[in-house]
Amino acid sequence: MVNPLVDNSGGSAALVQHLLATGRRRIVMVAGPPWLPCARRPVEAYQAVMRSAGLRDRVLPGDFTVAAGHAGALEALRRWPDTDAVFGICDTTAPTLTTATHPVQLIAAAAVTAVLGSSVLPLASAYPSQLVLRESA
């Protein structure tokens, strides 16, 4: 059986590196539910990039919703008034902000191929994320 993985760690790292390249240093992340592996990996990537830059991480809980994004941004400014960037874990949490997109069509095609059993696929395939600059860039 195929286990398709989205490289959301790579996407998160690319977003944080982009923010650092634009001069941001006090970056807050509004995360997803910690019990989901797909929500833990981006947090770990964010923390690793911040640590490698010699910066402190600032993670707030979230749940993949617009409401969590709004609440997270307000909480970030309340807790850390010097915040200069807020990074939401998904597009719903961060509408219209710079994002990392995933190749949904490739993932769906691999899943259909695996279900139909029409070809042999590796046990795990990683699908890279791509940085997409938007209004906040």
Average pLDDT over residues 105-112: 74
Whether pLDDT at 102 is above 50: yes
CB 101 within 8 A of CB 134: no
Tell me the Ramachandran region of residue 96: left when phi exceeds 0, alpha when psi lies from -120 to 50, beta otherwise: left
- Which residue(s) pair with 30 in the sheet? 60, 88
Average pLDDT over residues 69-77: 93
What the chain holds in terms of domains, given with CATH numbers, is 3-132 (3.40.50.2300)
Most confident by average pLDDT, 1-5, 79-83, 101-105: 79-83
Question: pTM score, two decimals?
Answer: 0.77
Stronger pLDDT, 2 or 11, i.e. the higher one: 11
Task: Report residue 2's pLDDT band, with 50, 70 and 90 as the boundaries.
Answer: very low
Q: What DSSP letter does each residue of 7-74 carry, written as one string?
A: -HHHHHHHHHHHHHHTT--SEEEE---TTSHHHHHHHHHHHHHHHHTT---EEE---SSHHHHHHHHH
Q: In 3D, which of 110, 66, 114, 103 has the Cα closest to residue 88?
A: 66
How does pLDDT run across 30-64, given as a tens digit for each residue? 999 989 888 999 999 999 999 999 999 999 999 99
Structure-block tokens of residue 71: 């609440």
Whether pLDDT at 137 is above 70: no
Going across the sheet that includes 58-60, the strands are: 58-60, 27-30, 85-88
Tell me the Ramachandran region of residue 3: left when phi exceeds 0, alpha when psi lies from -120 to 50, beta otherwise: beta
Give the pLDDT confidence score for residue 40 in this predicted structure.
92
- Which residue(s) pair with 101 in the sheet? 130
Q: Which residues contact 136 (CB under 8 A, 6 or more apart)?
A: 96, 97, 98
